[in-house]
Structure 1
Amino acid sequence: MAFLRGVKRRLQGLVLPVIFFGLCAYFAHHATHGSRGLLARDARNAEIVAARIVLAEAEAERDAMERKVAGLRAEHLDRDMLEERARALLNVVAKDEIIIPYAPNRRLF
């Protein structure tokens, strides 16, 4: 009987530390693997980096288009740009001109 009381007393002394350790393990697991944990933060940071790269490419494309359009505005009309666009749209070439084709992914502007 005395032996069982000693075991019971020791088990009662271990209940709170075991519960505390379980709670700590639970929160530690969710701090790393949860939807707002460290691993999710790293994934979001990688998505942000990829989105910034796409944004930089889109801004470069927009700047190139703005340069092209700036030469065709009425207040600053660039005759060479207007002639180039007209020939490209109409698919017209003079007899004495030389055509140098560019690859579709290589841009002049």
Structure 2
Amino acid sequence: MWTKHHKKRKLGRFVIPAMTVAFLSYFGYHCIHGDYGLRATEAFEHQRVAREKELAVLKTKREHLENQVALLSDGSLDKDMLDEKARYQLNVSRADEIVIFNHYSN
């Protein structure tokens, strides 16, 4: 009966640890720098905060416009508001009035 004896190679014992290091390095890199990694999550968070601020500004602007529309509606027509809007749109004033323009969007 013949048996073969293999010499133990020194390189063989480094294969599995090297594969493990390569595997962990690959996934570790993508955990930080990937599309859904830590840096991308931080960028998404900054974008979310900026959009929340923009949303708050737009909500206050909308409330202001809704308030103006409510004052101009048929049911509760505010004569001062109507006079102000007409003078602003037509660019008309009386000779004894002083006009101060505010730069806000209507």
Q: TM-score range by the shorter chain?
A: 0.7 to 0.9
CA distance in 2, matches of 1:79, 1:47: 44
Q: Distance in 2 between matches of 1:36 and 1:11?
A: 37
TM-score (norm 1): 0.84
Task: Report the Cα offset of residue 22 of structure 1.
Answer: 0.7
User: Which residue identity is paired with 1:88?
Assistant: Y
Alignment of 1:1-109 (within 5 A): 5=7, 8=9, 10-102=10-102, 104=103, 107=104
Q: Which runs of 5+ in 2 are unaligned?
A: 1-6
Moved over 4 A (4+): none
After TM superposition, give the deviation of residue 20 of structure 1 in Å: 0.6
Which protein has greater RCO, CA pairs closer than 8 Å, 6+ apart? Answer: 1
> Residues 108 and 13 of structure 1: is their aligned pair in 2 closer, same or farther, counting only changes over 3 Å?
closer
Cα separation, 1, equivalents of 2:80 and 2:105 = 15
Does the C-alpha gap of structure 1 residues 77 and 25 become closer, same or farther in structure 2, counting only changes over 3 Å? same
Q: CA deviation at 1:101?
A: 2.6
Q: Percent identity among equivalent residues?
A: 36
Equivalents in 1 of 2:94, 2:71: separation in Å?
A: 22
> Residues 54-101 of structure 1: CA distance to partner in whole angstroms, max 9, x if unpaired?
111111111111111111001111010011111111111112212123
More helix by share: 1
Distance 1:108 1:15, change over 3 A: closer
Code of the aligned partner of 2:96: D
Amino acid of the structure 1 residue aligned with 2:53: I
> 2-side partners of 1:29 and 1:39: how far apart?
11
